[in-house]
Amino acid sequence: MSGIEEPRPEAAADAPGHVPVLRDRIAELLAPAIGAAGGRAVVLDATLGAGGHAEHLLRTHPGLHLIGLDRDCAALAGARRRLAFAGDRLGTAHVRFDELGAAIDAGEGPAFELARAHGLAGALFDLGVSSMQLDQAERGFAYRVDAPLDMRMDPDSGGRTAADVLNTYDHAELARVLSVYGEERFAGRIASAVLREREREPFRTSGRLVELLYQAIPAAARRSGGHPAKRTFQALRIEVNGELESIRRALPAVLDRLAVGGRAVFMSYQSLEDRLVKRCFAEACADTTPPGLPMALPGHEPRFAQLTRGAEKADTAEIEANPRAAPVRVRAVQRLRADPG
């Protein structure tokens, strides 16, 4: 599986007729838990984005309440407009998805109240950067347009930008980011070129970085594996936004919030994300009875069950309709029992 993602296939919030990637399969995975919870059903869309999945769920299940989270103010505002038809069945919060616990505890309105009282019937995480963010050139996510090197998913939050990373990290730090988060085999070579170039002039825009990458990556390597800037831009974005740490914190947090019978669905677009989800789900679905005993001890049975066999992928028809769905990997689990005590 390729470790490099394409942008998350989410169009502008008001795009008419837009169908989000794997919409029907995601709805199918969540539907049994929504139905079982009845009028108490709440789904958490932890990466609300343009609201495509949320709209489909809210229209398909007229009694469903939904909590939408997003760290991007612009995306959140657009999604609220798109989902206004749901009225008070919708609750939203401007937070990172690893802050889901605090958001649920502090939120006002029926969706938050039901989630606090009964837990979540479902949760959806559509990881990665969306097309909507890429389309905003000033955000600096896209390597195909010259724009300021920002890459913050929440520009209002302060914090370092991609330009800060390029202009301040030492060689070892920068090479680590490119190698670990971008799986870039020329990480050391690129880091050396960046340090040389920033002595001449600090990096400010994406165009200059792309030009450097064309020069730093050997021609033979540029002829395969997609755009030569793809890995570096992914690595910088992950570093700027602390994405993998957010996923590590969010995974146990959302599993703890699921009601018995509740389901969590994660959509990953690159191997680093999928690896974290795979590891957490495997641990959650494991029997913790000490080895060597003839039967499972009470309270040590698996807390969760896998709903997907490995990571599900988009089929040929989905990819033909939306090529950006090609890298998606879907994993889902269902809660089997409450925690002791």
Contact call for residues 63 and 72 (beta carbons, < 8 A) = no
Catalogue the E-assigned strands of 234-335.
Answer: 258-268, 304-306, 329-335
Contact call for residues 13 and 93 (beta carbons, < 8 A) = no
Q: Which domains are assigned to the chain?
A: 23-131+243-335 (3.40.50.150), 139-241 (1.10.150.170)
Specify the pLDDT at position 158.
Answer: 74
Per-residue pLDDT tens over the stretch 13-43: 344 445 788 999 999 999 999 999 999 999 9
Mean pLDDT of the chain: 89
Least confident of 73-87, 216-230, 285-299: 285-299
Residue among 54, 77, 78, 51 at smallest CA distance from 65 = 54
Specify the pLDDT at position 56.
Answer: 97
**Any known ligand binding at 154?**
no
Contact call for residues 166 and 194 (beta carbons, < 8 A) = yes
**Any known ligand binding at 292?**
no
**Angle between the 171-182 and 187-200 helix axes, to the nearest 10 degrees?**
130
Residue among 157, 174, 161, 155 at smallest CA distance from 205 = 161
**Any known ligand binding at 126?**
yes
Residues in the chain: 341
Q: What is the mean pLDDT of residues 265-273?
A: 94
- Residue 90 pLDDT more than 80? yes
pTM of the predicted structure, to 2 decimals: 0.88
Show Cβ contacts of residue 215 under 8 Å, excluding neighbours closer than 6 positions.
193
Specify the pLDDT at position 144.
Answer: 67
Per-residue pLDDT tens over the stretch 116-150: 999 999 999 999 765 555 445 455 556 667 889 99
Who wins on pLDDT, 72 or 266?
A: 266
> How many Cβ atoms from other residues are within 10 Å of residue 30's Cβ?
27
Q: Which helix (H) or strand (E) holds 187?
A: helix 187-200
CA angle 281, 286, 288 (to 5 degrees): 140
**Any known ligand binding at 97?**
yes
**Any known ligand binding at 70?**
yes
